[in-house]
Amino acid sequence: MLPYLEIKKPWQEALSNVITDPKELWALLDLDPLLLDKAYAIIQRFPLKVPRSFVARMQKGNPQDPLLRQVLPLHEELDHVLGYGHDPLLENAVNPLPGLLHKYHGRILVTLTSACGVHCRYCFRRHFPYEKNNPGREGWQKIFDYIRGDPNINEVILSGGDPLSVSDQLLKTFTDELILIPQVTRLRIHTRLLIVLPERVTDEFLKWLMQLPLQVVIVFHVNHPNEINAEVIQALQRLRQCHLTLLNQSVLLKGVNDDATTLIRLSETLFAHGVLPYYLHTLDKVQGAAHFEVDLTHARALHARLCAKLPGYLVPRLVCEQPRKLAKTLL
């Protein structure tokens, strides 16, 4: 008898075949070898992880490429910067169960997994104790009980890590139980993986979405229009057939998208493919990400430019996240 072999989906292959060695990234993009040695020290703290298809959207020989900047380990990450912390949002305080964050009225955030498709150097979760926060299958039951215990909760946000780094089967197992709780009417998915690995939009995934008796909102995370290539456009087209609400959140990042032309192009490109801009976040003050900070005056000026140039529905809300607030803070 032939041994049973689990056949990996192409996206799972791509996810296990990501670039983690700086040497390879440097070689693919013709980067300055002088910066290579330092990169190894930096990724001790937060590993390098970039899918090949994302690297293919970067310009060779350009260390300033806006997609590369988001994933490139730079020695600035080692600087200790005053005012930057390890848990800037005090998420440990709103974490009643492993894998569950309950911060705002009526909605909870579930971290299904700690894995992401890409490691973004500015990520505020780079120090989050994920290992302790993976609910696992046993933890799900407690999460469902928690929801039943608060009748106000009508929306569940799948987050992570990236919730789409888990299999379609696991997603379905989760929602098969979730939909038995009648108060829950909406499912939201926060994902960057669909953007960096658009082949994640499998037939099985679409089928799952289509059959869910919930309103589904997908919130992508795209920071720069160059991230939206032909494969992403095709994935978005497929998703749109499921009649979902598609939104995008970005982080305002120095050297990536801190100019009005880029942000306008981002909004226009997203909308051309059926996605509405939702939030433009200012950077969370996490140690190691200070070199991405855009000062508040400049952020407000950029937002004013967007308001002056775009229809209102293409202007993302400029927000920051503050601990102990009832919602994200509008700036």
Ligand X SMILES: *Cc1c(COP(=O)(O)O)cnc(C)c1O
Write out the residues near ligand X by the rule CB under 6 A.
101, 103-104, 107, 109, 157, 327-328
**Which residues, in sequence order, are CB contacts of 277 under 8 Å at separation 6+?**
247, 248, 250, 266, 267, 270, 271, 314, 315, 316
Shortest reach from residue 47's CB to ligand X, in Å: 24
Q: Does 125 bind ligand SF4 (CB under 6 A)?
A: yes
Shortest reach from residue 245's CB to ligand X, in Å: 12
Shortest reach from residue 190's CB to ligand SF4, in Å: 8
101 interacts with, out of ligand X, ligand SF4, none, CB within 5 to 8 A per kind: ligand X
Closer by beta carbon to ligand SF4, 128 or else 140: 128
Shortest reach from residue 219's CB to ligand SF4, in Å: 11
157 interacts with, out of ligand X, ligand SF4, none, CB within 5 to 8 A per kind: ligand X
| Crossing angle of helices 203-211 and 230-240, rounded to 10° | 30
Span near ligand SF4 by CB under 6 A; candidates 16-24, 113-121, 135-143, 269-277: 113-121
Q: Which of 58, 74, 109, 123 binds ligand SF4 (CB under 6 A)?
A: 123
Give the H or E element holding residue 62. Answer: none
69 interacts with, out of ligand X, ligand SF4, none, CB within 5 to 8 A per kind: none
Shortest reach from residue 54's CB to ligand X, in Å: 24
> Which residues on neighbouring strands pair with residue 246, listed in sequence order?
218
Closer by beta carbon to ligand SF4, 39 or else 184: 39
**CA separation for the pair 284, 127 (Å, rounded):** 12
Q: Does 57 bind ligand SF4 (CB under 6 A)?
A: no
Shortest reach from residue 3's CB to ligand SF4, in Å: 35
Closer by beta carbon to ligand X, 273 or else 328: 328
Q: Would strands 317-320 and 329-330 be described as parallel, antiparallel, or unpaired?
A: antiparallel
**CA separation for the pair 274, 239 (Å, rounded):** 10
224 interacts with, out of ligand X, ligand SF4, none, CB within 5 to 8 A per kind: none
Q: Does 119 bind ligand SF4 (CB under 6 A)?
A: yes
Q: Which residue in 192, 31, 187 sits closest to 109, CA to CA? A: 187
Q: Which of 65, 91, 155, 162 binds ligand SF4 (CB under 6 A)?
A: 162
Question: Which amino acid is located at 91 in the chain?
Answer: E
CB of 267 within 8 A of CB of 277? yes
**CA separation for the pair 235, 255 (Å, rounded):** 28
Q: Which residue in 220, 161, 157 sits closest to 192, CA to CA? A: 220
CB of 26 within 8 A of CB of 36? yes
